[in-house]
Amino acid sequence: MRIIFLGPPGVGKGTQSQRLVEYLGVPQVSTGDMLRQAIHEHSEVGELSEKFLNAGKLVPDPIIIKLVTQRLAQQDASHGYLLDGYPRNLGQAAALDEYLHERETPLDGVLALQVDQEEIVRRLTGRGRDDDRPEIVRERFDQYLRQTAPLAEYYRQRGLLYMIDGTGTTDAVFDRIKSVLEKIRRNHQ
């Protein structure tokens, strides 16, 4: 299955993605993880991206699109993947559409995890990542609202969007995710 996992920072996407890839048996393609790794390794992508991550801003599209394209071409992604943190804006979504269209490998669905803003702030401030300082958290949330939130509408229009209530225990949220996956499977039959 080829799935996009959408949701604001702090919604619990990371935790759920890990369970989801295990359940589906596909690799998790997390652009945030790939960028943090690149920075750690001081690779060219890392050098180019670091200042954007530290500022809570999006890394420029050409860098990200190339990174993801190379990743999706790897063997382990040939039977599907979970995209976590990508696409992040309409330009990336268009690039992804083109890539998938050329290969005749359409998306199966876009899962959008939702919780209210107060809950997100509460969760984020307890996390302790470098980019979790309050002013950077605000910036990342802002970027999400301006650039990423419009993707929900983009995918809704394509009949691919599935909203998921992200409140409650990890298990409760994961149960909702599983029932959405069942629905997607049924729609394919």
Binding status of residue 10 toward ligand AMP by CB under 6 A:
no
- Joined together, the tokens standing for residue 179 give 């029932």
Q: How many CB atoms lie within 10 A of CB 34?
A: 20
- Joined together, the tokens standing for residue 105 give 């490998």
- What's phi and psi for 29, nearest 5 deg? -110, 95
Query: In the complex with ligand AMP, which residue's Cβ is closer, 35 or 173?
Result: 35
Binding status of residue 53 toward ligand AMP by CB under 6 A:
yes
# residues near ligand AMP by CB under 6 A: 16
Q: How many CA atoms lie within 13 A of 107 on its CB side?
A: 22
Binding status of residue 85 toward ligand AMP by CB under 6 A:
yes
Count, residues in the chain: 189
Query: In the complex with ligand AMP, which residue's Cβ is closer, 103 or 138?
Result: 138
How far CA 117 is from CA of 76, 88, 112, 121, 143, in Å, comes to: 36, 19, 15, 6, 14
User: x/- binding map, residues 109-138, to ligand AMP, per CB under 6 A?
Assistant: ------------------------------
CB of 87 to ligand AMP, least distance (A): 6
How far CA 1 is from CA of 77, 107, 153, in Å, comes to: 10, 8, 21
CB of 58 to ligand AMP, least distance (A): 4
Binding status of residue 7 toward ligand AMP by CB under 6 A:
no
| DSSP code, position 168 | S
- List, in sequence order, the alpha helices (H) in 56-114: 61-72, 90-102
CB of 44 to ligand AMP, least distance (A): 16
Binding status of residue 59 toward ligand AMP by CB under 6 A:
yes
Q: Which one among 5, 31, 71, 162 touches ligand AMP, defined by CB under 6 A?
A: 31
CB of 115 to ligand AMP, least distance (A): 15
Give me the residues that bind ligand AMP (CB under 6 A), please.
Answer: 9, 31-32, 35, 52-53, 56-59, 64, 85-86, 88, 92, 140
